[in-house]
Amino acid sequence: MLLKGAIVGLDRFNPVASVNVFQYNPHTLTRTLTPQIAEGTRSRGETLRLSGPPKETIKLDIEIDAVDRMETDDATAPLGIHPQLASLEMLIYPKIGSIIANATLSSAGVLEVVPPEMPLTLFIWGPSRVVPVKITGLSITETAYDHLLNPIRAQASLTLEVLNTQHFSVAHPGFALSLAHQGVKEAMAIINAASVAVDIVTGG
């Protein structure tokens, strides 16, 4: 069975606010890691100190096509892929309720209005990579439409900022998820080191 990647949005009022399972897994994704070097450590013996986990960015393209669902009895088929695109887009929209609430507070003269919060978004790429992210870029190219101009084929290009333990309070679920993600990396690195050691000893 082929496992499919997904982007899932969670919030306090809706445990599964948005579930976007990839119809087709991307052929490639690009991960860019930039180390966080501790400032003020240019003195001798201090140059290797880190201020935290590296800054990591993930870029990938998702293909979305309504053809398969149009051939079934899927109730959303008449809408094309509009629902899937909207589900992705809503990960970076504030909820209407919070917009109205903040507008009401502002008109009432409240000077300090708390900006609405994005849902906790998880990028899921297999069982060993479940990582909290923030969508920093979303570009959608629609390439085909039905007779009502509903999009039926599109490519979504996503830029994700991986969130680490420095982005969350200890009590936030994102902190535990970030810690678990790094723990998996450390375990994989140990497995690799053990494998290399065996090859060296056995001459493999």
In eight-state DSSP terms, residue 93 is: S
Is 154 in contact with 145 (CB distance < 8 Å)? Answer: no
Residue 55 has pLDDT above 90, yes or no: yes
Nearest-5° Cα angle at 103, 101 to 109? 105
User: Does the pLDDT at position 121 exceed 60?
Assistant: yes
Nearest CA to 63 out of 173, 129, 150, 158 is that of: 158
User: How confident is the model over 10-18, as a mean pLDDT?
Assistant: 72
Q: In the predicted model, what is the mean pLDDT of residues 114-134? A: 91
Taking residues 79-101, what's their average pLDDT? 89
Tokens coding 63: 């293909």
Average pLDDT, the chain: 88
pLDDT band, residue 39 (cuts 50/70/90): confident
Percent residues over pLDDT 70 in the chain: 90
- For the chain, which domains are there? 6-164 (2.40.30)
Which tens digits make up the pLDDT trace of 154-197?
Answer: 999 999 999 999 999 999 999 999 999 999 999 999 999 998 88
Whole-number Å distance between alpha carbons of 99 and 85: 21
Beta pairing class for 18-21 and 50-65: unpaired
Can you give the pLDDT at residue 41? 55
At residue 42, the pLDDT reads 62
Angstrom distance (rounded) from CA 21 to CA 153: 16
Residue whose pair of structure tokens reads 């994989």 in the numeric block:
188
Percent of the chain with pLDDT over 90: 58
Q: What is the β-pairing status of strands 120-124 and 18-21?
A: unpaired
At 38 the pLDDT is: 81
**Other beta carbons within 10 Å of 178:** 21
Judge whether residue 104 has pLDDT over 90. no
Query: pLDDT value at position 56?
Result: 96
Q: Cα–Cα distance between 160 and 184 in angstroms, integer? A: 20
Helix (H, G, I), strand (E, B) or coil at 8: strand
- Please name which of 138, 159, 126 lies closest in space to residue 88, comparing C-alpha atoms: 138
Please tell me the predicted confidence (pLDDT) of residue 98: 81
Structure tokens at 130: 């479940």
**119: DSSP letter:** P
In angstroms, the CA 57 to CA 160 distance is 6
